């Protein structure tokens, strides 16, 4: 049963990711954004398979909720009619598919060749939120606080860039 | 069917990373390139969560939370930059944005 769910979510994730970057029917960025939402939600399913329930919730809340709303807002703010008319450079696309396909082959071959994880097939730890929170606030307290500073700086930077006249 | 092990998750993760890389290479719209970057970050998240699960160690999940937070901050700044750029140049095509001069 778990195996079947893994394959369902993995195939959904990869299929939606393909439709984000190369949709055969439309080149509209809004469609790409919507398929990115689907990718992220199916990845949340994979996180549930990994017993990382809190991560699945955060993934849906932060990515599918906050980040994608930001993307949609910006797409609607900009006038992107022109995107539909431009052509993808076919030669460059073929070259890119070849190069990236080679990289993918090398990576998968390396993973299959190495015996990584073969001795670790019986996971015991549960990704419980209590343990995660304890780890976050005890062992990683300093990075956690620094991260809040990063968010503040990002917020100030975003406001600064969005001002009417960027000097 | 055999039970799912770490390698299966790593294969999915590397395929997702390669799809993101392909998106950055073949698409010419800054916004779609940005979405492909998000795909690559998500691939890293999946690999980390899988390692965390199969090594019985929660530190990987903590790192995933950090990555998600940094990605959210990065998206906010990046999209603000794109909007500012669009105001100046009226385009989001990377081929029209080849010069650094405003």
**pTM, two decimal places:** 0.90
In a domain, A82, yes or no: yes
In a domain, A95, yes or no: yes
Q: Which CATH number fits domain B6-97: 1.10.287.3510, 3.30.300.180, 3.40.50.11540, 3.40.980.10?
A: 1.10.287.3510
Does the CA dihedral A68-A70-A71-A77 come out positive or negative?
positive
Tokens representing residue B78 in the block: 């990046």
Q: Does residue A24 sit in the same domain as residue A94?
A: yes
Asked if A3 lies within 8 A of B28 by C-beta distance, the reply is no
* Structural domain range at position A93: 1-100
What is the distance in angstroms between the Cα of A10 and the nearest Cα belonging to chain B?
7
Asked if A3 lies within 8 A of B82 by C-beta distance, the reply is no
Q: For residue A58, which of B75, B50, B64, B10 has the smallest C-alpha distance?
A: B64
Each residue's pLDDT, cut to its tens digit, for chain B (102 residues) gives 577 888 889 999 999 999 999 999 988 888 999 999 999 999 999 999 998 888 888 889 999 999 999 999 999 999 998 888 888 888 888 887 777 766
What is the distance in angstroms between the Cα of A22 and the nearest Cα belonging to chain B?
8
Tokens representing residue A109 in the block: 């071959």
Of B4, B65, B86, the CB nearest to A3: B4
Asked if B1 lies within 8 A of A4 by C-beta distance, the reply is yes
pLDDT digits 0-9 by tens, A42-99 = 999 999 988 888 999 999 999 899 999 999 998 888 877 665 566 667 888 899 999 9
- Helices first, then strands: H and E counts in chain B: 3, 0
Asked if A132 lies within 8 A of B42 by C-beta distance, the reply is no
Asked if A2 lies within 8 A of B4 by C-beta distance, the reply is yes
The single residue listed with the structure tokens 């195939």 is A11
CATH number for position A73: 1.20.120.1200
Cα–Cα distance measured from residue A91 to residue A39, given in angstroms and rounded to the nearest whole number: 28
Structural domain count, chain A: 2
Q: Where in chain B are the domains?
A: 6-97
Q: Give the Cβ contact number of residue A130 at 10 Å.
A: 9
Interface test with B, best of A19, A23, A43, A122 (most B CBs within 10 A): A43
């Amino acid at each position: 049963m778990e195996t079947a769910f893994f394959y369902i979510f993995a195939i959904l994730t990869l299929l939606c990711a393909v439709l984000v970057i190369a949709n055969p029917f439309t080149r509209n960025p809004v469609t790409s954004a919507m398929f990115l939402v689907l990718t992220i939600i199916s990845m949340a399913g994979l996180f549930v398979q990994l017993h990382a329930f809190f991560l699945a919730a955060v993934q849906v809340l932060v990515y599918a909720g906050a980040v994608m709303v930001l993307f949609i807002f910006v797409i609607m703010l900009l006038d992107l009619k022109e995107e539909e008319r431009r052509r993808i450079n076919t030669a460059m696309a073929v070259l890119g598919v070849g190069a990236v396909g080679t990289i993918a082959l090398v990576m998968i071959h390396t993973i299959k060749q190495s015996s990584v994880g073969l001795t670790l097939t019986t996971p015991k730890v549960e990704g419980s939120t209590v343990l995660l929170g304890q780890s976050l606030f005890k062992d990683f307290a300093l990075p956690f606080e620094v991260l809040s500073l990063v968010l503040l700086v990002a917020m100030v930077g975003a406001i600064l860039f969005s001002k009417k006249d960027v000097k | 069917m055999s039970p799912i092990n770490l390698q299966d998750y790593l294969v999915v993760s590397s395929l997702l990373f390669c799809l993101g890389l392909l998106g950055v290479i073949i698409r010419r719209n800054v916004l779609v390139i940005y979405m492909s970057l998000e795909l690559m970050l998500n691939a890293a998240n999946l690999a980390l969560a899988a390692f965390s699960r199969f090594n019985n160690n929660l530190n990987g999940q903590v790192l995933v939370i950090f990555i998600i937070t940094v990605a959210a901050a990065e998206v906010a700044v990046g999209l603000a930059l794109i909007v500012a750029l669009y105001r100046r140049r009226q385009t989001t095509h990377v081929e029209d944005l080849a010069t650094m001069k405003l």
